[in-house]
Structure 1
Amino acid sequence: MGNPRARYTLEFKVEAVRMVRNGQSQAAVAKILGISTQTLNSWLKADEAGKLAGAGKLVSAEQMEIARLRAENANLRMERDILGKSDGILREEVSVKYAWIERHSRQWPVSVACEALGVSPSGYHNRKARDVDPDRPRRRISNDALLVHIKAVHAESKGEYGWPRVWKRLLAQGIRVSKDRVQRLMKLHGIKARTKRRFKATTDSRHNLPVAPNLLQRDFSPTKPDQVWTTDITYLWTDEGWLYLTVILDLFSRQVVGWSLKPHMRTELVSDALRMAWFRRRPETGLIVHSDRGSQYCSAEFQDLLKSYGMQSSMSRRANCWDNAPTESLWGSLKQARIHGKRFATRREAMDEVIDWLSFYNHSRLHSTLNYVSPMQFEQDWHAAQRKEAA
């Protein structure tokens, strides 16, 4: 519920209305922005009645300002010899100067007029570009409007993003803002990423099964997709008992290409994940699948499956989690974002949460290793570049 005494700016209301108009539910928007659904509903009604000037169009307020300035500028009739005496009307507002320069651009060079009026040519051209293209993002967004977008991005990640990823996501959405400003606003309003917690591994390497050599040797940067996959097992507690998860991770794009969730840790858990990955990707012969020395991976069933797919087995050194660091990092991100601090009444609830996060991770989550794009976007960009080179 929002604060009943809070006063919201028009721009804040406009942004809230926009979020609903773009398809988000009123309840979700109200929760994200920390306001009551009744307040939001009243803003929507005001918008329908035309009482929210500019609702549904972020730059309309600016267009109104430009129209006002043009009307004011229509009364200005100046010549070159009085430019130096323009400290009155023209120095009251930079926007008026830009309007005057535009009106007299055929009479006086822009650079000369800008110099005389004490404004920069780049500033004038930026304003003119926004006038021609109203959908172009504004150079400066108010703190109220920026806070709306920050809360939306933070909620989209379900609290997983800290300020670096929030900032990168805003830039990707066309909102030009400094990282310091995003960090400062998030700190001021108590918006932060979930706290990381430690977790233990599930590996049991106390067996007499054959162990594969370490072919990976911590080279976590393959040059194309489906050269190296890594895999591991983790576990989640529910009121019904343990739920075990394994994934197959493509090291090139850090995309989860296969996964399996079961109430046990038998070899079937890891074999099903590998089958999913193979049917989805159909990689060429020679792909390396790197794992720890757990009995599931060393089993004859799993090793035979690898051979049938033309894959090579690679295993970490004993008790060395750094040899499989990317997958360990994935577990940390998952548990930080969706698991720690939650209680799952059933395994089904936990499965739904994990599957939802894996979808978010592959399609949307900004990955720092990939220069802050999602795994699927990174791979799509790579394929597009390859097609361009081949053309």
Structure 2
Amino acid sequence: MKGKQRKYSDLFKEKIVQLSYKKNNLSEFAREIGISSSKLTEWRQTYEKFGIGGFPGSGGIKMKLEDQKIFELEKKLKQSEQNFEILEKGTKYLSMGNLSIYPFIKENEKTYSIIKMCEVFGIHRRVYRNWKNGIIPPKKQKILKLKDEITSLYYLFNRQYGSVKITRELVKRGYKISGNRVAFYMNKMNLKRKLDRKFESTTDSKHDFYTFPNKVNRKFHRDAPSKLWVSDITYINTSVGFIYLTIIMDVYDRKIIGWALSDDLTTKNTTLPAWDMAISRREIKNQLIFHSDMGSQYANKAFTDKLESYQCIIRSMSRKGNYCDNAMAESFFAILKRELIYRQTKLLSKKKMKVEIFDFIENWYNTQRMHSSLNFKTIKEFNNDN
């Protein structure tokens, strides 16, 4: 029975070959070191062809030293190009924080290695694995909940409270937190006190159309889908003027079930297409409350007739000039602007901005974003559990 063939390291081969050139008798030298003459001859031929590049170590490729240097440079260049490609694709998510980067990594696991993506974004692999397995550290949960509480207070008080007053409100609610910490989070989320800011109104409440009493009275919680839908319109600045986003949200799971982007504020291009999308996506059940402001897009005859054709719908409207009455819709717009609009370093074209908003609503907010109001679950996870 033949014994196992002895293995030699590449470093050993290199040194033996170099030493062999100082010997007069190769056969005798081979016997001294315990190898065959043919093996020594083979090693010498490799050395003569590639030099020390013929012994590159485990997993290496035999090549001349100058070729090896070029190979290493090309390898580094390829790695750099891949790093740049990963960073370029994930930049907009990176600016939103780690909770936005994690879904990006998960989506691209088949394209890039997890190790490489975590390295590029400076994320510990264990932390990413915990997120992927649905494990959110208690500290992170606490911070996310606090941020949502700050955002809620910011809009509850019509964006007129700064960090000092919001800190006082948080303390009243049982939080032990300093004003500096609140100011830090508000700055991170771009929640700045609004003082005499001029803006373009998206709805006109000075009209003689239909108006309805407030049936919601800021009690937004619902225990099932299609019991309360809220709607609102906001404007978004682009490099060539405004575009207008109309949304309809089911407050049960916070999903944007209907939305429309338009270049004008006509009912035909705002509330009607958003409504058509909503009813195509979610079944209307008995006693659905549809809540909006008193804007003409909601109060005119065309939209009113459309809703009245569904006899199970109850209309509700916010009181004039009171943002808090439609806080759920305002909260979504705050998230949109914080996580997308305010992250832009320059104004985008209308076409590009429309693509970005579609991606934000359909591929992020409605599908991958965790919502603290849903116990840190995505909308899909929340609905699967209920």
Indicate conservation of the 8 Å contact 1:225/1:253, yes or no.
yes
Q: CA–CA distance in 1 between the matches of 2:322 and 2:339?
A: 25
Alignment counterpart, residue 84 of structure 2, candidates 19, 27, 37:
27
Q: Indicate the residue corresponding to 2:202 in structure 1.
A: 202
Indicate conservation of the 8 Å contact 2:86/2:120, yes or no.
no
TM-fit CA distance, 1:339: 0.8
- Opposite residue 368 of structure 1, the aligned amino acid is S
Q: CA–CA distance in 1 between the matches of 2:290 and 2:125?
A: 39
TM-fit CA distance, 1:148: 1.3
Q: CA–CA distance in 2 between the matches of 1:180 and 1:225?
A: 29
Q: Give CA-to-partner distance per residue, 1:93-112, whole Å, 9 cap, x none.
A: xxxxxxxxxxxxxxxxxxxx
Superposition pairs for residues 137-176 of structure 1, below 5 Å? 147-149=122-124, 170-171=130-131, 173=133
Q: Indicate the residue corresponding to 1:369 in structure 2.
A: 373
Alignment counterpart, residue 327 of structure 1, candidates 326, 329, 350:
329
TM-fit CA distance, 1:173: 3.0
Q: Indicate the residue corresponding to 2:247 in structure 1.
A: 247
TM-fit CA distance, 1:174: 5.0
Asked which structure has the greater CA Rg, the reply is 2
Report SS of the residue matched to 2:205.
coil
Alpha-carbon distance change, 180 to 287 in structure 1, aligned in 2, over 3 angstroms: closer
Q: Indicate the residue corresponding to 1:112 in structure 2.
A: none
TM-score (norm 1): 0.52
TM-fit CA distance, 1:315: 0.2
Superposition pairs for residues 105-184 of structure 1, below 5 Å? 147-149=122-124, 170-171=130-131, 173=133, 177=137, 179=139
- Opposite residue 148 of structure 1, the aligned amino acid is I
TM-fit CA distance, 1:374: 1.6
Q: CA–CA distance in 1 between the matches of 2:245 and 2:301?
A: 21
Alignment counterpart, residue 355 of structure 2, candidates 336, 352, 355:
352
Q: Indicate the residue corresponding to 1:262 in structure 2.
A: 262
Identity over aligned pairs, percent: 32
Matched, 1:337 2:339: yes
State how many pairs are aligned.
233
Q: CA–CA distance in 2 between the matches of 1:177 and 1:287?
A: 38
Matched, 1:378 2:379: no
Indicate conservation of the 8 Å contact 2:226/2:250, yes or no.
yes
Q: Give CA-to-partner distance per residue, 1:114-158, whole Å, 9 cap, x none.
A: xxxxxxxxxxxxxxxxxxxxxxxxxxxxx98995149997xxxxx
Report SS of the residue matched to 1:244.
strand
TM-fit CA distance, 1:245: 0.4
Matched, 1:215 2:194: no
Alpha-carbon distance change, 373 to 57 in structure 1, aligned in 2, over 3 angstroms: closer
Q: CA–CA distance in 2 between the matches of 1:179 and 1:319?
A: 38
Report SS of the residue matched to 1:277.
helix
- Opposite residue 209 of structure 1, the aligned amino acid is F
TM-fit CA distance, 1:170: 4.6
Q: Indicate the residue corresponding to 1:297 in structure 2.
A: 298
Indicate conservation of the 8 Å contact 1:249/1:256, yes or no.
yes
Alpha-carbon distance change, 180 to 312 in structure 1, aligned in 2, over 3 angstroms: closer
Gaps spanning 5+ residues in structure 2: where? 1-81, 92-111, 144-180
- Opposite residue 317 of structure 2, the aligned amino acid is M
Q: CA–CA distance in 2 between the matches of 1:237 and 1:379?
A: 34
**Please, what is the CA RMSD of the aligned residues?**
3.7
- Opposite residue 221 of structure 1, the aligned amino acid is H
TM-fit CA distance, 1:206: 0.9
Indicate conservation of the 8 Å contact 2:210/2:304, yes or no.
no
Q: Give CA-to-partner distance per residue, 1:301-351, whole Å, 9 cap, x none.
A: 011111113322110111111111010010011011111253344211111
TM-fit CA distance, 1:377: 2.1
Indicate conservation of the 8 Å contact 1:285/1:309, yes or no.
no
Indicate conservation of the 8 Å contact 1:290/1:316, yes or no.
yes
